[in-house]
Structure 1
Amino acid sequence: MPQDASPPFPNPSFQAAGSAGLPPAAGGGADDGMIAGIRSVLAECGGLAVDAGRLAVDDDLYAAGLTSHGCVGLMLGLEEQFDVEFPEKLLNRRTFESIAAIRDAVRGLIDGGEA
């Protein structure tokens, strides 16, 4: 995906502090595939007001349009995509606040059964 100088959101308030509106840096290794999978599920199930491909990993997904209804769809899509099940203790706003938070939760579920 080519990068340009334009911010991913029409309103700068959608950007998380420090993200500068840029997609994640290259070189993430195994994380790249997981992040791509998360972005795919976000685009399909998240109901975001912006293109999931333009979000930086630390951008606030709620500021980008994620609602409680979208969060449920996102969780179900992630469970299917990664063959995991989110335990009740992870069903909170913090788990789904950013692509990075989702990546960490999913990685924890895959690696140890729970994050």
Structure 2
Amino acid sequence: MKKKVKENDFARHLSYFLSKYLPGQMNASSNTVISYRDTFKIFLNYCRTEKNLKPELIQMETVKKELIVDFLAWLEIERECSISTRNQRLAAIHAFFGYVQKESPENLFASCRFV
């Protein structure tokens, strides 16, 4: 009997958020979409290099408050980002989780642990 592979809900939500929701429904500028995309590129790289989490295996339930707090601290300390840059990255993450709460109520509990 084959084990059912769990769909990567984080990747699905993130892909739709960046490619459809921001530019289409929110009419976000291309610069905003690029900035948000870059935030998640950095976040996924952080997950891979610092937390040994393969990006393709990250689920919504994986992304907890502690992971985000650690990521923000890493931005400041290791990447030497300014507070305003860190806060801009946090705003992108908040926007994503706000989207997930509205578009996917089954993930409401998981995303509420962060927001």
TM-score between the two structures when normalised by the length of structure 2: 0.37
Rg larger for: 2
Q: Whose helix fraction is larger, Structure 1's or Structure 2's?
A: 2
TM-score, length basis structure 1: 0.37
